[in-house]
């Protein structure tokens, strides 16, 4: 092999070699450099449904955007570079129209009035250059709104609830938004049915969690009672007996519900009974809460926490004497970390 002795000739030869390799498309390894329109994403969980928007963020850069950089009456990629995409882990509704779970190319058709927001079944294209209306999964209409200046295009998922979120695009001084809603109770019930085919079916807790969700959401009550029965068959506990009682009460069988609640009380541990007492307080059933906390004191006389809770219930009732008596007992047994709070409660009662 002949050595190149002239460094300048070597550098020139290397440059020619590299340029030839690039020209032939062989061996090109792109470097990691900043993008003019950096990549971004935003996500939000609605109930148990995952929603995500992935996009690139072009800048205004002192340009006229609407009607110029982004022409009116032409389909736009709603971002930069490859497709802006939006994905849903379950079926949703967008502006009230159903859209199946999946990932969609997100395009927009701007006009000087209302815009069209397009969800395309093709989500792997470069921008909107190969957009084909025949591949649309859904089109909705959205009205542009004036907004604070935004140098780089951004997407947000705003005002999330258990069943909805508002998706919004902002760029320059324009905001386009559309609502996404989820039938969360039905989504969760379908998910619970799948999950109960797996490991959770072998524990009383799994069946009970499923039944308890239906009780809270007031959905699927008949099947929830079946799930509750499965839980009780595996292990009869304070928790699952009370869930079934709640379900029966919603179905109108108050007598059976009361019998189950009475049956559950001897099975409760200290924490379960304490939590139940606070549930009663929250429901303004102060006298029932006091009786529950008194039972906990009788069953667990060595616990500072039971006296603390009973003191709180008496304070809610307005019985300062018994509230001070029980708080004082709790203070004499409580760990240091709790004494400041209990002293504060006592100070309020002695005012």
| Co-location of 262 and 305 in the same domain | no
Q: What is the DSSP letter of 59?
A: B
pLDDT level of residue 27 (50, 70, 90 thresholds): low
> Are residues 205 and 289 both part of a single domain?
no
What's residue 29's pLDDT? 80
Specify if 96 maps to a domain: yes
User: What burial class does residue 64 get, using C-beta atoms within 10 Å of its C-beta: 0-12 exposed, 13-18 middle, 19+ buried?
Assistant: exposed
Residue 196 belongs to a domain with what CATH number? 1.25.40.10
Residue 200 belongs to some domain of the structure: yes
User: What pLDDT digit, counting tens, does each position of 121-133 carry?
Assistant: 999 999 899 999 9
Q: Which domain holds residue 207?
A: 183-268
C-alpha span between 222 and 153 (Å, rounded) = 49
Q: Is 323 a domain residue?
A: yes
Domain membership of residue 277 (yes or no) is no
Number of separate domains in the chain = 3
For residue 25, the model assigns a pLDDT of: 52
290: in domain: yes
The tens digit of pLDDT for each residue in 72-101 reads 999 999 999 999 999 999 999 999 999 999
Q: How far apart are CA 284 and CA 303, in angstroms?
A: 25
Residue 276 lies in a domain: no
Instruction: Tell me if 30 is assigned to some domain.
Output: no
166 and 227 in one domain? no
pLDDT in tens, 195-240: 999 999 999 999 999 999 999 999 999 999 999 999 999 999 999 9
Considering the domain boundaries, does residue 57 fall inside one?
yes
* 309 and 202, same domain (yes or no): no
Q: What is the pLDDT of residues 43-55, one digit of tens each?
A: 999 999 999 999 9
Are residues 202 and 298 part of one domain?
no
Q: Are residues 158 and 74 in the same domain?
A: yes
Of residues 288 and 5, more confidence is placed in: 288
């Amino acid at each position: 092999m002949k050595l190149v002795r002239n460094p300048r000739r070597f550098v020139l030869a290397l440059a020619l070699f590299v340029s030839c390799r690039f020209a032939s498309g062989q061996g090109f390894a792109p470097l990691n450099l900043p993008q003019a329109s950096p990549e971004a994403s935003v996500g939000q969980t609605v109930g148990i449904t995952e929603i995500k928007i992935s996009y690139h963020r072009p800048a205004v850069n002192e340009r006229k955007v609407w009607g110029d950089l982004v022409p009116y009456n032409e389909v736009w990629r709603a971002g930069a570079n490859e497709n802006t995409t939006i994905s849903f882990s379950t079926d949703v509704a967008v502006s009230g129209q159903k859209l199946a779970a999946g990932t969609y190319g997100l395009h927009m058709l701007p006009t000087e009035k209302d815009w069209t927001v397009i969800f395309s079944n093709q989500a792997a294209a470069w921008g909107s250059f190969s957009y084909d209306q025949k591949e649309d999964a859904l089109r909705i209409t959205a009205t542009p709104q004036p907004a604070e200046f935004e140098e780089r295009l951004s997407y947000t998922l705003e005002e999330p609830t258990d069943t909805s979120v508002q998706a919004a695009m902002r760029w320059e001084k324009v905001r386009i938004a559309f609502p996404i809603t989820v039938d969360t109770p039905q989504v969760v019930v379908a998910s619970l049915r799948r999950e109960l085919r797996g490991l959770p079916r072998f524990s009383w807790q799994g069946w009970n969690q499923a039944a308890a969700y239906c009780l809270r959401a007031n959905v699927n009550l008949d099947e929830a009672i079946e799930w509750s029965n499965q839980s009780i068959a595996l292990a009869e506990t304070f928790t699952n007996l009370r869930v079934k009682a709640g379900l029966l009460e919603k179905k109108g069988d108050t007598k059976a519900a009361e019998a189950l609640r009475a049956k559950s009380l001897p099975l409760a541990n200290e924490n379960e009974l304490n939590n139940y007492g606070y549930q009663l307080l929250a429901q303004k059933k102060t006298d029932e809460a006091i009786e529950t906390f008194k039972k906990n004191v009788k069953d667990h006389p060595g616990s500072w926490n039971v006296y603390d809770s009973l003191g709180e219930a008496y304070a809610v009732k307005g019985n300062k004497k018994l509230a001070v008596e029980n708080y004082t007992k709790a203070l004499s047994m409580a760990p240091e970390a709790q004494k400041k709070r209990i002293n504060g409660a006592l100070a309020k009662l002695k005012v």
